Chain A
Amino acid sequence: MERCAVIGVGQTKHAAKRDDLSMIGLVREAATRALEDAGLTFRDIDAVVIGKAPDMFEGVMMPELFLAEALGAVGKPMMRVHTAGSVGGSTAIVAAHLVSAGIHQRVLTVAYEKQSESDAMWALSPKYPFQPPLMAGAGGYFAPLIRAYIRRSNAPNDVGVRVAVKDRLNALKNPYAHLKMPEISAAQVEASPMLWDPIRYLETCPSSDGACAMVLSSETAARSAPHRPAWVHATATRSEPNLFAGRDQVNPRAGRDCAAALYKQAGITDPRKQLDAAEIYVPFSWFEPMWMENLGFAPEGEGWKMTLEGATALGGDMPINPSGGVMSSNPIGASGMLRFAEAALQVRGQAGEHQVEGAKLAMGHAYGGGSQFFAMWIVGDARP
């Protein structure tokens, strides 16, 4: 297998409404920044792999068809990946595999969402044939799981509030983040409306317009890159059915298996000790402690202790989402790729104010559907 490197990273300024740009302009803003970072132009790219959330969000069928020309893909291989909310991660993994399989030298991968042109709440609340019309978006789906987690773990009620504050404070250090809430406080989060009890408004991710792009390359092509690459040490994806008897929806098996496969590839036996930073897909603040357990950073039922002890803060022993995470910017299709790209920025020493000092090994994580698709990677500053 060829080594694969991240030689270019680009992202947009994420915002509630980027009406200065069309969808085309949005993906180009991220793609041209990634190419500039890699010292390349569209001409140097061998293939393009694009991802976004379901077409029903923006109501635009197969946008990859008209984005092909905007991304310089005409006459080149182009494909679209689709795995719901985890798509940004699995898109990057497909691109990485095209390099590690020795098929291409330089692959451009892009993911985006223009939520201001979409209605995700509506798209995620369809009238299902065998269910009453009660579904209320992603929050309506995940709130009962959070309630089950709190009951199972006996976590104190304010864990979700703590994560919500921590991630928004981190976002102040990230120039690309959507939410900028310098006054954020626990009292403010607690006072925000209870939308999907037990999830409050400020314990929820925003709706964002944004895109993320990366240039992935072979070791040979990485030699001429102007900046330090991040090396891909491991990639893994897993899925499981939405519903089956005995399914553990709070701590899904697919997530545990995906992490186990990932750590094995990367030679990791104690992720909390060996990883320097992690960008984890946390669209509702309570998912930080839940994923800490699913990913093996904490024993089952104890993920919330990491949050309360400050371990997951920037400056803690296991910084989670130093960029501010999904809680601060959520262009859905891009959110997973942003986690992967932010992990790469950390080990390249390019994360600016939200840099984890001396980060050598970092994880990117995304999940989608009803906690049923998982995509993860580990990147490092040294060759694997």
Chain B
Amino acid sequence: MSEPKPKQDEPIKRMLAPVRLEFTVSAGRDKTAFLGAIIEGRILGGRCPSCRKVYVPPRGCPTCGVEMVGDIPISDHGVVTTFCTVSIPFEGQTMKLPYVYASIVLDGADVPIFHLVDGIDAKDARMGLRVRADWRPPAERKPTMESIRAFVPTGEPDAAFDTYKEHL
């Protein structure tokens, strides 16, 4: 936020006070494994021993309140359940506009992840689109979801609404 300088005869009503914030996150056992796998180009999930639902990344089950077991390999292919096309600029934004921000349920998972969809014109983005991860080269990967550059269309036929409507 930049503030224009007040003219000499105007009262000073506002001042700029910048705030900068950096923080350290302890990933915890499950997400440490998840991030390690991301560097290797793999996606890990966890299955709740009680409700059997699969979460990506693995975590304590929000429904059952229990720890998840196992490091379940998850496909890097999935379906766009819903999305929005972002055309609004704002402070701190690093993306070129417009971009498609999508909710993607990976095959075998029961919750969506959120990622960029490209390799398709924004106006052709749609619910049910089949996509796959476009991984960055191994040397460029870091322990973040940005190691997947974007999700791109697989070219398969769109998924039927009934197959993903429970994830909306």
Q: Which residues of A contact B (CB under 8 A)?
A: 19-20, 56, 59, 117, 119, 121-122, 125, 129-137, 139-140, 143-145, 147-148, 151-152, 193-199, 241, 243-246, 248-250
Contact = CB atoms under 8 A, between A and B. Distances in A.
B139 interface: no
A193 B86 CA distance: 11
B111 A243 contact: yes
A129 B144 contact: yes
Contacts of B29: none
A148 B93 contact: no
A147 B101 contact: no
Consensus secondary structure, chain A interface: loop
18 contacts: A121-B90, A122-B92, A130-B57, A133-B94, A133-B146, A134-B95, A136-B88, A136-B101, A151-B82, A151-B168, A194-B87, A195-B86, A195-B88, A196-B87, A197-B85, A245-B51, A245-B54, A246-B166
| Nearest 9 pairs of A and B residues by beta carbon | A143-B84, A245-B53, A197-B85, A245-B110, A144-B82, A59-B19, A241-B62, A148-B168, A121-B90
A132 B165 CA distance: 24
B82 A145 contact: yes
Given A19-B14, A129-B27, A140 B84 contact: yes
B31 interface: yes
Interface in B65-106: 81-88, 90-95, 98-99, 101-103
A59 B93 CA distance: 18
Given A130-B57, A148-B168, A195-B88, 17 more contacts: A122-B90, A129-B27, A130-B31, A132-B145, A136-B88, A144-B83, A144-B103, A145-B82, A151-B168, A152-B168, A196-B85, A196-B88, A244-B61, A245-B55, A246-B53, A246-B110, A249-B168
A59 B1 CA distance: 12
Interface in B33-78: 34, 51, 53-55, 57, 61-63
Interface residues of B, number: 54
Contacts of A131: 113-115, 145
